[in-house]
Amino acid sequence: MRFNRYVEALTWLESHIDFERVAPNRQEVPSLQPIVDTLALLAEPQHDYPSIHITGTNGKGTTTTLTSALLSATGLRVGTFTSPDLHAINERVAVNGEPIADEDLIALLQRLSDVESVSGVVLTRFELLTAAALLHFSDEGVDVAVIEVGMGGTWDSTNVIDSDVAVLTNVDLDHTAVLGPTISAIASDKVGIFRPERIAIVATTNAIVVDIARRRADALGATLWLLDDSFVLESNELALGGRAISLRTPFAHYEDVLVSLHGIHQGVNAATAIVAAEAFLGRALGEEVVASTLARVRMPGRMELVARRPMIVVDGAHNPAGIRALVATLDGAFHVEGARRCVLGMLTGRVIDDMVEPLVALGFTEFHCCAPNSARAVSAHDVAEAVRRHGGVAYEHPSGTAALAHARERSTDEDLIVVAGSLYLVAEVRGEVLKVTSRHLA
């Protein structure tokens, strides 16, 4: 099969199992062997450059992006692999912040299609994207690749890399059907990305997680850098346009650094990214690199202001921990005089009430509920019923676009509309507001 156009390559990619849209499970014994075998036939591109590997329940995407930006600012050629994307697959694979070009993505998927035909090894959609990213970074001759785990750690397809630095941002209950029902089980899966005699960074003080990380590091002879021990976030304050943080790392002391992202959790993510970059370099980044990079950083879909009058904020909070971070951020970062409305949609795999209760308690005037564009979507009716159980006012809509339109109709210029619960919903609404056309197949 030859791909002459972007849509043909994408159609082939989408013909593979997609565990991001179809709820994954662990009914079969997990294995990295399929992607290992495929990469072996491609001369193992993942070993052509050093790497940083980042996992965690929340914050791993932001930490990955910030780490890449900081390293790029030092003059390095940096490959970045993240997930999910908002409007196009190309967003997931970037070099120095530039998404992969269509022609390069087509060529990579062609190579993977050829290998599949010869070997008979059929990868999942995410495994194919992982392999494409690892190939692209080899072709591009990057100095370092910063790789975000898709889910978990030990059995994630990205765990074929031999990283110089591994980062665990935090652990909370998410994807429990796959990773396990407890913090301990999930943490045990995530520390599977640690490597012998390398540096492992843990950016949470949760005693259960720290103990599991310490035991894993000791078994591997890895060097463990812990929050409030090896590095200390001395302050993390609300500032105009984001956060102001002060941080002590093993190499430097940074004071009152502006981070142009909203939310106390983003201050932690920024600090973790600084430490990860310095662990890789083996030296301080320097005040100029840190200050200039973090002052201009942007994270689409994460506490992002996309419109004013009324103010519209989109946030990919998709699990209870993410919702709690959203709630903690809203009052300080986006103060408005008028009413607050929420466009809400979510996927299965979470307890709906755990997602809804904090939002209702925050005092939204009303909720506009819908089902995200995913086979795993919870129905608008079920979300609305959860809102009503907790005393909120809820409307049901057939789509995110319809929910946003109704919320806008009922809002004045002084009001706030928050869109949350799923990145699929955020992508739909963000595309509508900013007039960004989705390049995904219908």
In a domain, 20, yes or no: yes
Report the pLDDT value the prediction gives residue 442, as an integer from 0 to 100.
73
Report the pLDDT value the prediction gives residue 388, as an integer from 0 to 100.
97
Q: Are residues 220 and 331 in the same domain?
A: no
Q: Are residues 359 and 272 in the same domain?
A: no
**Average pLDDT value for the chain:** 93
CA atoms within 13 A on the CB side of 340: 18
Number of other residues whose CB lies within 10 A of the CB of residue 154: 17
Least confident of 25-39, 232-246, 248-262, 421-435: 25-39
CA dihedral (177, 423, 203, 297) in degrees, to 10, reads 170
Distance of CA 197 to the CA centre of its chain: 27
Checking if the pLDDT of 119 tops 70, the result is yes
Report the DSSP pairing between strands 165-168 and 51-55.
parallel
Report the pLDDT value the prediction gives residue 333, as an integer from 0 to 100.
75
Report the pLDDT value the prediction gives residue 319, as an integer from 0 to 100.
86
* Nearest Cα to Cα of residue 152 among 118, 186, 194: 186
The tens digit of pLDDT for each residue in 331-358 reads 777 778 899 999 999 998 778 999 999 9
Residue where the block lists tokens 């609300």: 238
The tens digit of pLDDT for each residue in 206-262 reads 999 999 999 999 999 999 999 999 999 999 999 988 999 999 999 999 999 999 999
Domain boundary among 296, 331, 361: 296
Q: Are residues 352 and 282 in the same domain?
A: no
Q: Are residues 400 and 380 in the same domain?
A: yes
In a domain, 395, yes or no: yes
* Nearest Cα to Cα of residue 20 among 375, 351, 316, 314: 375
* Overall average pLDDT of the 67-84 stretch: 97
* Overall average pLDDT of the 43-65 stretch: 96
Alpha carbon separation from 227 to 48, 167, 203, 439 (Å, rounded): 31, 11, 5, 40
Integer Cα distance of 89 and 362 in angstroms: 35
Q: Are residues 328 and 202 in the same domain?
A: no
Per-residue confidence band for 26, with pLDDT thresholds at 50, 70 and 90: low
Domain boundary among 296, 313, 330: 296
Report the pLDDT value the prediction gives residue 22, as an integer from 0 to 100.
59
In a domain, 1, yes or no: no
Integer Cα distance of 411 and 341 in angstroms: 8
Per-residue confidence band for 35, with pLDDT thresholds at 50, 70 and 90: very high
In a domain, 442, yes or no: no
* Overall average pLDDT of the 197-203 stretch: 98
- Are 105 and 91 a contacting pair, CB within 8 Å? no
Report the pLDDT value the prediction gives residue 180, as an integer from 0 to 100.
65
Retrieve residue 210's tokens.
């720290």
Domain boundary among 280, 296, 312: 296
Q: Are residues 273 and 403 in the same domain?
A: no
Gap between the terminal Cα atoms of the chain: 22
Q: Are residues 217 and 277 in the same domain?
A: yes
In a domain, 441, yes or no: no
* Overall average pLDDT of the 27-40 stretch: 87
Retrieve residue 405's tokens.
């339109």
If phi > 0 it is left, if psi is from -120 to 50 it is alpha, else beta; for residue 44 that is left
* Nearest Cα to Cα of residue 319 among 293, 354, 274: 354
Retrieve residue 439's tokens.
């390049």
CATH of the domain at 339: 3.90.190.20
Alpha carbon separation from 321 to 11, 178, 392, 401 (Å, rounded): 34, 18, 20, 26
Number of structural domains (the chain) is 2
Q: Are residues 28 and 149 in the same domain?
A: yes
In a domain, 440, yes or no: no
Q: Are residues 172 and 259 in the same domain?
A: yes
The tens digit of pLDDT for each residue in 362-379 reads 989 999 999 998 888 999
In a domain, 439, yes or no: no
Q: Are residues 18 and 160 in the same domain?
A: yes
Domain that includes residue 129, residue range: 6-296
Q: Are residues 289 and 338 in the same domain?
A: no
**Could you tell me the pTM of the whole model?**
0.93
In a domain, 317, yes or no: yes
What are the beta bridge partners of residue 45? none
Q: Are residues 292 and 389 in the same domain?
A: no
CATH of the domain at 29: 3.40.1190.10
- Are 207 and 225 a contacting pair, CB within 8 Å? no
Report the pLDDT value the prediction gives residue 24, as an integer from 0 to 100.
54
Integer Cα distance of 426 and 296 in angstroms: 22
- Residue 406 phi, psi dihedral angles, 5° rounding: -70, -40
- Are 54 and 63 a contacting pair, CB within 8 Å? yes
* Overall average pLDDT of the 120-127 stretch: 96
Report the pLDDT value the prediction gives residue 54, as an integer from 0 to 100.
98
- Are 220 and 194 a contacting pair, CB within 8 Å? yes
**158-161 contacts: CB < 8 A, separation 24 or more?**
158/53, 158/81, 158/130, 159/32, 159/53, 159/192, 159/193, 160/32, 160/35, 160/36, 160/39, 160/46, 160/130, 160/134, 161/46, 161/51, 161/53, 161/134
Report the pLDDT value the prediction gives residue 387, as an integer from 0 to 100.
97
